[in-house]
Amino acid sequence: MVRFLFMAATVNVNGRTFDQEHAAISVFDHGFLYGEGVYETLRTYNGQPFLFDRHMRRLRTSAGMLALSVPLTDAQIDARFRETMRAAGLGDAPDREAYIRILVTRGIGELTYDPVACPTPSIVVIVKPNVDPAAEVFERGVKVALVPIVRNHPGSVNPLIKSNNLLNNALAMQEAFRRGGFEGIMRNYRGELAECTQSNVFIVKNGVALTPPIDAGLLPGITRAFLFEVGAEAGIDVREAVLKDDDLFGADESFLTSTTREVVPIVQVDDRKIGSGVPGRVTRALLNGYRVKARALTARQPTVL
Ligand SMILES: Cc1ncc(COP(=O)(O)O)c(C=O)c1O
């Protein structure tokens, strides 16, 4: 299985745009030294960064939880995205949708945890061609692993923070790779299901889509939240519920959500089939509703003459 594709990136580092070979950041940046920083991943539909305002709100919330300032307005960040997309030749045609990642780190400073040592945060924008998962991922569904790595305790590095410090996620995903999983589902410290390493998890039981509540200790996914709205429009009940292993294994359907993967059916967890082992009706309806709504919200308005 192809696990990733190499795609050349265009990178804006503190306002200057580089090709990927020349994009660099100091080793004294506390993002590198201590993992002190936050990020967001967006993608475009119709060339527009999708749900931009929600991503900016979450970026500022994450940064606030590290007492890190984001010294640009949303309009300035939007301009930086568009400038980097233009330099990358992306976002201007249906076959040139962009993947956009913004990182804000503590910045360069002495070897101390004292934030005063770093007066200027670093801001990096990475733009690459958006690559959708293969069609068969959506058509046939995927196998995931239920991994033993516990999701960070909210009293430790709170999963609410979309942090550049991704060791918890990376370790869990390494285990998922070892087991041939497309993703890894993590439990929280209470043993309840929390989320996947790079996406949120849902199950479907008796026609209702259920996902763990935020206080299970997980990232409040933008796609997860958007799916509540998609469900409401499609007449599908989408709710939060505390979920355990048995709920997953006894589910009629399951799926995961993220910005870059939209809604991916889960048909197997380790060696156990979920439901009938093929993407279910509710999952397919939510995926379709998601795509239709994403395209409609980003459709360019016709020019009025
Ligand atoms: C740990 C984790 N959970 C959930 C998500 C999904 O979030 P979103 O829907 O905002 O992309 C991500 C996305 O990267 C993630 O890293």
Residue 125 and residue 22 share a domain: yes
3-state secondary structure the chain: CCCCCCCCCEEEECCEEEECCCCCCCCCEHHHHHCCEEEEEEEEECCEECCHHHHHHHHHHHHHHCCCCCCCCHHHHHHHHHHHHHHHCCCCCCCCCEEEEEEEECCECCCCCCHHHCCCCEEEEEEEECCCCCHHHHHHCEEEEECCCCCCCCCCCCCCCCECCCHHHHHHHHHHHHCCCCCEEEECCCCCEEEECCCEEEEEECCEEEECCHHHCCCCCHHHHHHHHHHHHHCCCEEECCCCHHHHHCCCEEEEEECCCEEEEEEEECCEECCCCCCCHHHHHHHHHHHHHHHHHHCCCCCCC
Residue 1 lies in a domain: no
Single residue among 67, 102, 129 that ends a domain in this structure: 129
What pTM did the predictor assign? 0.96
Q: What is the pLDDT of residue 14?
A: 98
pLDDT for residue 300: 76
Number of domains present in the structure of the chain: 2
- Around Cβ 124, how many Cβ atoms within 10 Å? 20
222 lines ligand 1 (CB under 6 A): yes
Range of the domain at 113: 10-129
Residues 85 and 143 in one domain: no
62 CB within 6 A, ligand 1: no
Nearest CA, atom 14, ligand 1: 198
Whether 121 and 149 share a structural domain: no
How many angstroms separate the alpha carbon of residue 85 from the centre of ligand 1?
22
In the reported structure, the alpha carbon of residue 200 is separated from the centroid of ligand 1 by a whole-number distance in angstroms of: 6
Q: So what's the pLDDT on residue 2?
A: 66
**For every one of its 305 residues, what pLDDT tens digit does the chain have, with 9 covering 90 and above?**
666 777 899 999 999 999 999 999 999 999 999 999 999 999 999 999 999 999 999 999 999 999 999 999 999 999 999 999 999 999 888 889 999 999 999 999 999 999 999 999 999 999 999 999 999 999 999 999 999 999 999 999 999 999 999 999 999 999 999 999 999 999 999 999 999 999 999 999 999 999 999 999 999 999 999 999 999 999 999 999 999 999 999 999 999 999 999 999 999 999 999 999 999 999 999 999 999 999 999 997 655 65
Is 157 contained in some domain? yes
Which atom number of ligand 1 is nearest to the Cα of residue 55? 10
**What CATH number should be reported for the domain holding residue 282?**
3.20.10.10
> Of 66, 97, 129, which residue is a domain's last?
129
| Domain shared by 163 and 274, yes or no | yes
Say if 78 falls within a structural domain.
yes
The predicted structure's pLDDT at residue 303: 56
Could you tell me if the CB of 158 is within 6 A of ligand 1? Answer: no
Residue 303 CA, ligand 1 centroid: distance in Å: 35
Last residue of a domain, one of 96, 129, 162: 129
**Which residue of 219, 260, 287 sits with most ligand 1 atoms within 8 Å of its CB, as the best mutation to test the pocket?**
219
Check which CATH number belongs to the domain holding 75 and give it.
3.30.470.10
